Every structure is written in structure tokens, then in C-alpha cells.
Amino acid sequence: MCASSILSLNMGMNLLFLLPASISLTSIISGIIGGSIGILFGLLVIFQSLLSIFFYGVVGGLMGTMLGAVIKNPSLCSLPTVNINMVEQNTIIFSLFGSILIVLTTGLLWYSLIKQEQMGESSAYVSL
């Protein structure tokens, strides 16, 4: 669940930074892509958890879009407005932080899959 949320959050934030479209259109696109990420990760584990991981992917995408909107325009949350140089600096810092989170999450997933394989456990927990 964590992996789909982190990937969707970073994707939604960077999508808002890159697309000049409106926030509502970017939110819809982020929700759809985040849900797709959630479905892909949900298919890796128990089939019954697919809906909850899909939900976490959609929520992560929408939260990333909201976070990106606040970074671009701090006055949305009644934060003091800063000059344009600070907005660009914050955009770079948060994008770099999101990239580091993705690398850490991917590394932890890879490590857990390797450990699981070494222990001889199955990677799919499908119950009949």
C-alpha cells in the first residue's frame, strides 16, 4: 500500500509541475494514473486487497496534486506569498525529495522480495 501511495503522490506532484493544465484536469489525470498504479501493486498481493490498494493509489495521486498546487501557490493555504525564486527552489527541493522517496521505496520492495525468495515463500498469497 505504501509503494502505490508514494509513487502516486510523487507522480501527482510532478504532473502538476510539468503540465500547464488546470488543477482540476490534473487531479483527474493523477487520480486515474494513481488508481492504475494501485491496481498494478494490488495484483502483486492478495486479490481481495486490490480495492484498498487501488484506493491508496488514487488518494496518493490526489494528495500529490494538492501538494504541488500549494508549492506553486502558497497563498492557497493562507501561507505567506514568496517571491518567484522561492517557488522555483521549493519545486526543485520537493521534486528531489519525492525522487529520493521513490528510490528508497523501490529499494525496500526489492529487498523484501529478495528476502522472501530466499526464505522460499511464494510471492502471491492467493486464497481459494
Tally Cβ neighbours within 10 Å of residue 78.
6
Residue-level pLDDT at 84: 67
What are phi and psi for residue 119, nearest 5 degrees? -80, -10
Judge whether residue 127 has pLDDT over 60: no
Q: Specify whether the CB–CB gap between 121 and 113 falls below 8 A.
A: no
Residue 56 in 3-state DSSP? helix
The 10s digit of each residue's pLDDT in 68-109 is 888 888 877 877 776 667 888 888 888 899 999 999 988 988
pTM of the model: 0.76
Q: What is the mean pLDDT of residues 6-23?
A: 87
Q: Specify whether the CB–CB gap between 38 and 53 falls below 8 A.
A: yes
Residue-level pLDDT at 104: 92
Scan for cell 526489492, then name that residue: 110
Name the residue among 72, 65, 76 with its Cα closest to residue 31.
Answer: 65
Name the residue among 1, 105, 102 with its Cα closest to residue 53.
Answer: 1
The 10s digit of each residue's pLDDT in 29-66 is 999 998 998 888 888 777 777 888 888 889 999 999 89
